[in-house]
Structure 1
């Protein structure tokens, strides 16, 4: 594979992977405007974020068998079409309940891109290269939390939140055309893959029973729920508690993403000297220590805007190393039915992310402490699961 072709594949796969995060991050600065226009509260608008996470989690399980049965491109096409139409619907919505429902449908569409991109990585690249490829994808994906809230902040301030969804619709159209025209057919599909509920559930159970899968899928997903906690809580923390405007909020969010991107690229360098297993253990240990220090500061009311940003910056850096390595080790044992493997991994991650964002909507209102407490819980639990699972794998 030529370097030019390799770059093109990474760029398109990264765009597919970034569509979901972009759809999450870009409308965050508009929470107050949406609440005002739809006669509701910011906390109720935050439920549209939870519905999006639930939609992605459910949709992953839907697309996994479809990608294995019909190949990658057909389900990807129809999923992106659903995304485009739902984005258009969000432009004209006048009721918060309809808005929450449309965000769920938008997520169902976007997760076709997420599942297909991960499955194509497994199709196109050898096992040893997968963590490095995921790190490169993180670079492309990482641009979304840098660009999306910053663009969203300016667009919301100058043109209103409706324009954000017009932009997302056109992004969906461009990505649909690029994927259909420039991505290779990596799988023709397997007619023997059944779409009946019982065989599908059996396939998911077979994957879930694999020790390496459930060890690293759950470790990665629970650790990564700290990111979803931050994303869901950040409009409340920065705009409600610290009283920053939409534009400043966008810049803060962009700055925070530098940590995640930088760490994911550092991971590619560290993989030359350390194994993925070693990096996951050390990054998670750091994450536990940082989150506990964060909680102590929050409980003693020692946090201001700048120290909060600093602690979150360190926390997200740990995730930038953990995530590509857990993803690579989760996918590594499988050569067949990689659509189902990708779907199940994504569903676990996003399902737990939806749960974390739901807790944010319930508990995070006038204090930063509940957000940090959720982060500590997820970090410690992930570290425990990693250690228990690692011992079983060694045995």
Structure 2
């Protein structure tokens, strides 16, 4: 969008949003099936499949970034979505929790192609300020995933069992392959020069890892993602035990988070009409801490009704989602010729932190609302701390 700003969302951004949404969609869709998975496989610890998925997302992005800088954006996308579909088929056939964990890693190694290359495509086609606006629009498109995925997942689990979720995802992966082949144009700059020599790749990653702006903004978003993953990982058990929600009911409840993403996107676009992304982020990063503190105290001191939990959930997701587009735009702004590898490092740092959040839930979640709220508050505080650290380092340089 280096040209005049269009009056409507361009088709390429809709497609990039769809392929970027595959990663979170794949997480949210199978959440209503958590209790059924544990019952059928006769094992506890289904949260480990979430942590395994995030490990795959973290590692895979580091691979796709340099490849997309070298060969273009489309070839690794093809490979990624083939791998995604095969992993989904394997998950549908899993006979043990260990097998499901391994196949979720494989599925994640495919899904992360859309995440990392989607950000690179936005950077390819947009200047920094317009990139913030594009990322805000992208977030609104991606928000359809959290709306539709748990609702659809609840229906599928109720109608066919949890395995049907992964059959659906395999079909979705094949459909994305066709759409990308027909509609997506190559966007990698023709002047970009990249090598796949391991030593050179390591050197480039080391150079990027020493940039406090890239690392700091990545950690801000990473801990924000960690807050969300704490909730989506821990809430199925909490809601089924505390409120006896069915898979359908939980799916509808989780689907409301998509509305929170849309609201955050709208607030961001309005804010960007008056201020730059750095100014907007400076204000937005405070609100998750405020909301998280209130949520934790209410959960600890009171017996919150279901509607109170839903309100807190929506406020948490709105405040946290407001952070995301600005961190992406600011972190990737200096790296037009290396958008793929810079996006890969940013995404991997974010996913690594989210993986730690998933592990924390698996270890510390005792099925109570106040413990879940405390884990989420911790992530919000660390996100704010990362932002202050990045600003402090930038002020010294």
- Compute the TM-score of the two structures, normalised by the length of structure 1: 0.95
In the alignment, what sits opposite 1:149? 150
Tell me if structure 1 keeps the 8 A contact 2:35–2:237.
no
Given candidates 10, 16, 19, the residue that maps to 1:16 is 19
Tell me if structure 2 keeps the 8 A contact 1:228–1:357.
yes
In the alignment, what sits opposite 2:374? 373
Given candidates 26, 31, 37, the residue that maps to 1:28 is 31
Task: Return the alpha-carbon distance in structure 2 between the equivalents of residues 189 and 75 of structure 1.
Answer: 17
- After superposition, the C-alpha distances for 1:78-98 in whole angstroms (9 at most, x for unaligned) are 111111111111111111110
Give the Å deviation of 1:387. Answer: 1.9
Tell me if structure 2 keeps the 8 A contact 1:70–1:190.
no
Task: Return the alpha-carbon distance in structure 1 between the equivalents of residues 279 and 7 of structure 2.
Answer: 32
Tell me if structure 1 keeps the 8 A contact 2:85–2:173.
yes
Structure 2: gaps spanning 5 or more residues:
none
Q: Is it true that 1:350 corresponds to 2:381 in the alignment?
A: no
Q: Is it true that 1:336 corresponds to 2:299 in the alignment?
A: no
Could you list the runs of 4 or more consecutive aligned residues of structure 1 that deviate by over 6 angstroms after TM superposition? 188-191
Given candidates 41, 57, 78, the residue that maps to 1:38 is 41
Give the Å deviation of 1:191. Answer: 9.1
In the alignment, what sits opposite 2:303? 302
In the alignment, what sits opposite 1:268? 269
In the alignment, what sits opposite 2:320? 319
Task: Return the alpha-carbon distance in structure 1 between the equivalents of residues 36 and 69 of structure 2.
Answer: 42
Give the Å deviation of 1:262. Answer: 0.9
In the alignment, what sits opposite 1:132? 133
- After superposition, the C-alpha distances for 1:134-158 in whole angstroms (9 at most, x for unaligned) are 1111111100010000011011111
Task: Return the alpha-carbon distance in structure 2 between the equivalents of residues 169 and 201 of structure 1.
Answer: 34
In the alignment, what sits opposite 2:224? 223
Tell me if structure 2 keeps the 8 A contact 1:83–1:169.
yes
Give the Å deviation of 1:189. Answer: 7.6
Task: Return the alpha-carbon distance in structure 2 between the equivalents of residues 178 and 348 of structure 1.
Answer: 29
- After superposition, the C-alpha distances for 1:339-364 in whole angstroms (9 at most, x for unaligned) are 10010111011111011011111111
Task: Return the alpha-carbon distance in structure 2 between the equivalents of residues 27 and 126 of structure 1.
Answer: 37
Tell me if structure 1 keeps the 8 A contact 2:189–2:337.
no
SS at match of 1:340: helix
Number of matched residues?
393
In the alignment, what sits opposite 2:235? 234
Instruction: Identify the range of structure 1 (219-228 vs 71-80) with the bigger mean alpha-carbon deviation.
Output: 219-228
In the alignment, what sits opposite 2:103? 102
Instruction: Identify the range of structure 1 (350-359 vs 258-267) with the bigger mean alpha-carbon deviation.
Output: 258-267
Task: Return the alpha-carbon distance in structure 2 between the equivalents of residues 188 and 284 of structure 1.
Answer: 33
SS at match of 1:25: helix
Instruction: Identify the range of structure 1 (206-215 vs 91-100) with the bigger mean alpha-carbon deviation.
Output: 206-215
Task: Return the alpha-carbon distance in structure 2 between the equivalents of residues 366 and 288 of structure 1.
Answer: 23
In the alignment, what sits opposite 2:163? 162
